Amino acid sequence: MKVSFAGTTIPSDGALALGVAKGGKLGALAASVDKKSKGGVRRAIKAASRFEGDKGQSLEILAPSGTRLSRLILVGLGKPEDFDTRAAEVLGANVARRVSATGDTKVAIALDVTKGFKIDEDKLSARIAFGARLGSYRFDRYRTKEKPDKKPSLKQLTVLTAGNTSAQKRFAILDKLAESVSFTRDLVTEPPNVLFPKSLAAHAESLASLGVKVEVLGIAKLQKLGMGSLIGVAQGSSHEPYVVVMQWNGGKPKAPPVAFIGKGVTFDSGGLSLKPASGMEEMKFDMAGSAAVIGTMRALAARKAKVNAVGVVGLVENMPSANAQRPGDVVTSMSGQTIEVLNTDAEGRLVLADVLWYAKDRFKPVFMVDLATLTGAIIVALGHNQAGLFSNNDELATRLVSAGDAEGEKMWRMPLGEDYDKDIDSDIADMKNIGTGGKAGSIIGAQFLQRFVGDTPWAHLDIAGTAWLNKDNPTAPKGATGYGVRLLNRLVADHYEEK
């Protein structure tokens, strides 16, 4: 889909979508279509009777007379003062997807309201296009015979705005970000026979072309580093584990970096603590944390962010086999702490234990944020709208929450505390990898991770519920969302870049 920006003139053909503020008063473009059609637009609104420009409302008029437009879609904006960048994204996404199902190849979109917004019109217009881009994402690699009338028809989207030059500039930056989100979605969607630790590491290596320094650590190196906790998870799989270190040095030389850590379990069968068959296929997305970290590094490099950032991802496959780790095994992590593995399905924390320690030890980062599809329990607690946030640092937590709000990647802070921490003390080792009571599963997972971060400001995002959706969300079609890329890119842009 080609995206462009133009001034506010009514296009000669194709579909046209126009915003209408709460109250239902027509903007200049809608009024002019109304005039051409000799009052047809206002008559249609009257006939629809309930359309009042409320947020979420829409009204479609086919082939408005006096024009060669295929359709005019009036979209309710609600109160202009409440119409924010997120609302603009949702508007663009909804219009693009709707038109794409009609067979039309062209659409022009205009807010068509000029007063009352708290945000500049060029920003809102750029976000309309960005939303359309994100919402039009598809993964088509393995379709070989889709019927043409099932394919999205939209080829050209034009946003009409008086501030079209500056909107275009803003969009150029967002469009690059959307590419990194799509890159992450692609990785998460790839099937687990195609995407395994080595092939995922190769995708991370592709960032070298953007100037990212990429190191791929193989099994010999991991053994030498003493990553017994991560290696234990991988030992039942025929795929060897990898840790990939990505460095983007766009900041001052020697300035300590920010660090992003990702869980990359390319398939989580549960290991010998095998998962039930039903739904097991979903566990291909257990590498979504690592994909978000790789996508974030890509986004930072693509826009040459003025920051030093490192991304470290632990890539393993969790499988049962004669070589697999047993419930009851004790492993020694790189930190020296020993772990009694009581459930081989609580493997994400075992991977992250070594990767977090390694990142802290080697880079002494300003902060570490890890992303992981860590627990089913976070879905019970928060559903699919918000990730679980756990942090030992209020400033970092607050910054993450506001970056998430701004980008539509929300999170809810959950508690940490000594009482929870006690629950993972083991009878025979330093800790065990599951709690005693089976309650507060997400917090227990976070407590486990905290034992590997020392005093480094750290936040853990449990994205088990937000990385993958079973139904469409306007800017994230059903499937992989790419959760985390926009969030972390925003976090860096707002607080950690040299101005």
The catalytic residue positions are 275, 349
Number of Cβ within 10 Å of residue 278's Cβ equals 7
Number of Cβ within 10 Å of residue 63's Cβ equals 12
Question: Residue 387 interacts with ligand BES (CB under 6 A)?
Answer: no
Question: Would you give the binding string for Zn ion spanning residues 264-303, x where CB under 5 A is met?
Answer: -x--x-----------------x-----------------
Question: Residue 345 interacts with Mn ion (CB under 5 A)?
Answer: yes
Question: Residue 84 interacts with Zn ion (CB under 5 A)?
Answer: no
CA angle, residues 305, 166, 19, in degrees to nearest 5: 115
Gap between the Cα atoms of 46 and 52, Å rounded: 10
Number of Cβ within 10 Å of residue 23's Cβ equals 9
Return the residues of window 119-178 that contact ligand BES according to CB under 6 A: none
Question: Residue 84 interacts with Mn ion (CB under 5 A)?
Answer: no
Report the DSSP beta bridge partners of residue 122.
Answer: none
Return the residues of window 435-474 that contact ligand BES according to CB under 6 A: 441, 464
Least Cβ distance, residue 246 to ligand BES (angstroms): 23
Q: What is the DSSP string of 107-129?
A: EEEE----SS-SS-HHHHHHHHH
Question: Residue 423 interacts with ligand BES (CB under 6 A)?
Answer: no
**Count residues contacting Zn ion (CB under 5 A)?**
4
Question: Would you give the binding string for ligand BES spanning residues 290-329, x where CB under 6 A is met?
Answer: ----------------------------------------
Q: Which does 464 bind (CB under 5 to 8 A by kind): ligand BES, Mn ion, Zn ion, none?
A: ligand BES
Question: Residue 348 interacts with Zn ion (CB under 5 A)?
Answer: yes
Identity of the residue, 129 or 434, whose beta carbon is nearer to ligand BES in the bound complex: 434
Q: Judged by CB under 5 A, which stretch of 93-101, 347-355, 385-393, 483-491 contacts Zn ion?
A: 347-355
End-to-end CA distance of the chain: 33
CA angle, residues 178, 478, 243, in degrees to nearest 5: 60
Q: Which does 325 bind (CB under 5 to 8 A by kind): Mn ion, ligand BES, Zn ion, none?
A: none
Question: Residue 268 interacts with Mn ion (CB under 5 A)?
Answer: yes
Residue nearest to ligand BES (CB): 376
Residue whose entry in the numeric block shows the structure tokens 């004790």? 330
If we measure between CA atoms, which residue out of 29, 111, 118, 97 comes closest to residue 69?
29
- Cβ within 8 Å of residue 381, ≥6 positions away: 388, 414, 442
Residue nearest to Zn ion (CB): 268
Gap between the Cα atoms of 315 and 310, Å rounded: 16
Gap between the Cα atoms of 434 and 426, Å rounded: 10
Gap between the Cα atoms of 12 and 104, Å rounded: 14
3-state secondary structure of 266: strand
Q: Which does 182 bind (CB under 5 to 8 A by kind): Zn ion, ligand BES, Mn ion, none?
A: none
Please state whether 112 falls in left (phi above 0), alpha (psi between -120 and 50) or beta.
left
Question: Would you give the binding string for Zn ion spanning residues 228-267, x where CB under 5 A is met?
Answer: -------------------------------------x--
Question: Residue 434 interacts with ligand BES (CB under 6 A)?
Answer: yes
Q: Which does 354 bind (CB under 5 to 8 A by kind): ligand BES, Mn ion, Zn ion, none?
A: none
Helices marked H in 85-215: 85-100, 121-135, 164-189, 197-205
**Count residues contacting ligand BES (CB under 6 A)?**
14
- Which of 122, 345, 370, 423 touches ligand BES (CB under 6 A)? 345
Residues that bind Zn ion (CB under 5 A): 265, 268, 286, 348
Which residues would be at the binding site for Mn ion (CB under 5 A)?
Answer: 268, 345, 347
